[in-house]
Structure 1
Amino acid sequence: MCLIAFAWQTHPRWRLVLVGNRDEFHARQSAPLARWSDAPLIGGRDLEAGGTWLGATDDGRCCVVTNVRDPRDPQQGVSRGLLTTDYLRSDMGAAMHAKSLLQTAADYRPFNLLTFDASDAFYLGNRPAPKAQMVTPGVHGLSNADFNTPWPKTRALIGHLQAWLASTLDDGDFALLFTALADEHRAPDEALPDTGVGLERERWLSSAFIRGEHYGTRASTVVAMGHDGRGVMIERRFGPNGRFEGETALGFGGA
């Protein structure tokens, strides 16, 4: 993923509500959201490296990963997409997993990782050094920088999620969240971060939804996990220039 906002332990029905966009080269092959035949999880699948950017399990765990935008940092090491599948394939809770991953985090390509189980949530990263932080109840955001870095699109998505939380108690209507993920508004130049990719690219990447012929938003996803252990994941997929390619919704949990 490249843009995430989530509410942790703040809603009467949902212990986790997570919304995010996956931005990627359109030529990179991936499979849509599905139940995997070779692992006890649901998620999309990167067909190049075999991992996933976002997945969940019936025992109430969820995991999502982003890269770190820094062209000066070589993209070397183990594929970060395997971080999600390694967690979801295991039987570890978020706290035990965080302690274990700190020992090997430096071996992976630059990453940000969020892990959730029935009671705990963690943020983990490996730039500039391996780190782990327990997530407190509330609404948080993550893009291609450190946890809760206030990039304009991250702040905007957090605001949309907060508005949704304030306007709904227990229904399953996520239309407003998908509208927020489809926002193509670009931030003003004075609000842009400087990540070393140049002004024109910073402008292009500053919107929640990125439209492009070769690179752009490939999937918009909403995950809602209930306090009762049941949840739903909904994925909308897009092709070159933002062409809509399909939607999948899967329920999970209750194990």
Structure 2
Amino acid sequence: MCIVLLSTAHPDYPLVLIDNRDEFVARPTSRVEWWGPENSPDGPAYILSARDLLRPEHGTWMGITRHGRFAVLTNYREEDTHDAEHPVVGTRSRGSMVKNWLQLPPESPETVEAFIARLLSEDGGVGNVGGFSLICGQARRAGKDSDASRIEPLALISNRAVDVSHTVWLGEHTDETHGLSNTAFDQPWPKVLRGKELLADAINNSMSTHESKDDFIRRLFAILDAESLPTRAAGESFEHYLDNLQHSIFIPPIGGRADYEEYMRSIMQPTPVTEHPPEVKVSEPDMLGVYGTQRQTVLLVDKHGHVTYVERRLYDEKGRDVPRGRGDETVEFDIEGW
């Protein structure tokens, strides 16, 4: 039950964004790295993200390019896991929706509005994708004559909204704080409401104390570690217990192999993907069904167009705990054409 929190309220950082990726902890996932589009493997590596290695598309939930093209995605939790029109697992990867935006050539004239129209068109194929919400746009200075305290607005779309053609625009002003998890944007879960409060407080405290970037980043990671998960009742099914994840920003390791098998049976649907689910090979089979916050990310874009991207890995490839800070990877760069 991932969470994305973003704000435009910090005067030094037109975009502050933090993200928890909640997943089965042993799901094969790359580290954050620079890579290039699949259709030009010998071309420049201008996309920065980690990638999911389980599905062949090698999609991603979050990324940014050297030119400021940005996207982050959360899954939509279906209330009816047997609704054939809204499969939990579709024939196309949700992570490919993020890739579709990031892989556009730097010189592409396609606007975010045009991309959304293409994505939501019949040819875009979002009906063949499990439920998702996608925030995408250009993390670039809004207007060359401005004081660089604001970036271009980001678009929010979902293929599970009542009207999928409707776009919500985030960051049109310099005092906004938003959150998104695994339900509709206008129906926020308790974890989102709490996260927005914590992020607003963190920014206010950072501004009042004039703290360093490193201290601010530590403060942001503390938000991502906020845990308030109810205890699982005796005999409670894993599928039912997952409903409680809407209350906690951080998800500690829960479940096991039996829970994983129960969950996969509950979402099985007659699609090419779920008829033959991909085999997951992990060195320690008992970690296969353990679920929790797998990755944490802090993204800062300052008013000079300098990006600081910090990814924190919480588990290694065998699903074993990685102590806080030892799994951190930091990448910094300047957005070209800021």
TM-score normalised to structure 2 length: 0.67
Q: Report the secondary structure of 2:248's partner residue.
A: coil
Q: 2:158 aligns to what?
A: 125
RMSD value, Cα = 2.4
How many Å separate the matches in 1 of 2:50 and 2:128?
24
Percent identity among equivalent residues? 28
2:30 is paired with a residue whose SS is strand
The equivalent residue for 1:66 is 74
In the alignment, what sits opposite 1:109? 130
How many Å separate the matches in 1 of 2:159 and 2:27? 24
1:67–1:111 Cα contact (<8 Å) kept: yes
Partner in structure 2 of residue 79 of structure 1: 93
User: Number of matched residues?
Assistant: 247
Change (3 A) 1:30 1:233: same
Per-residue CA distance 1:104-140 (angstroms, 9 max, x = gap): 2333221100013121210010014523222243100
Structure 2 portions without partners, runs of 5+: 81-85, 141-151, 232-237, 254-286
- Asked if structure 1 preserves the Cα contact closer than 8 Å seen for 2:190 and 2:246, the reply is no
Which range moved further: 98-107 or 147-156? 98-107
Q: Quote the residue 2:258 is aligned against.
A: none
Give the direction of change, closer, same or farther, for the CA distance of 1:36–1:177 in structure 2 (3 Å limit).
same
User: Tell me, which stretches of 5 or more residues in structure 1 are unaligned?
Assistant: 189-195
Closer, same or farther: CA 71–146 of 1 in aligned 2, 3 Å: closer
| Structure showing the higher strand proportion among its residues | 1
Partner of 2:247: 206
Please tell me whether the aligned partners of residues 57 and 253 of structure 1 are also in contact (alpha carbons under 8 angstroms): no
Name the structure 2 match of 1:143. 181
Task: Report deviation, 1:15.
Answer: 1.5
Paired residues of 1:20 and 1:220 also in contact (CA < 8 A): yes
SS in 2 for 1:208: coil
Q: Which residue type is aligned with residue 220 of structure 1?
A: Q
Runs of 4+ in 1 over 6 A off after TM superposition: none
Normalised to the residue count of structure 1, the TM-score between the two structures is: 0.87
Counting only pairs closer than 5 Å after superposition, residues 102-251 of structure 1 correspond to structure 2 as: 102-103=120-121, 104=124, 105-117=126-138, 118=140, 119-128=152-161, 129-131=163-165, 132-135=167-170, 136-137=172-173, 138-169=176-207, 171-172=212-213, 173-186=216-229, 197-198=239-240, 200-204=241-245, 206-212=247-253, 214-239=290-315, 240=319, 243-244=322-323, 246-251=327-332
**Partners of 1:106 and 1:130 within 8 A in 2:** no
Between Structure 1 and Structure 2, whose CA radius of gyration is higher? 2
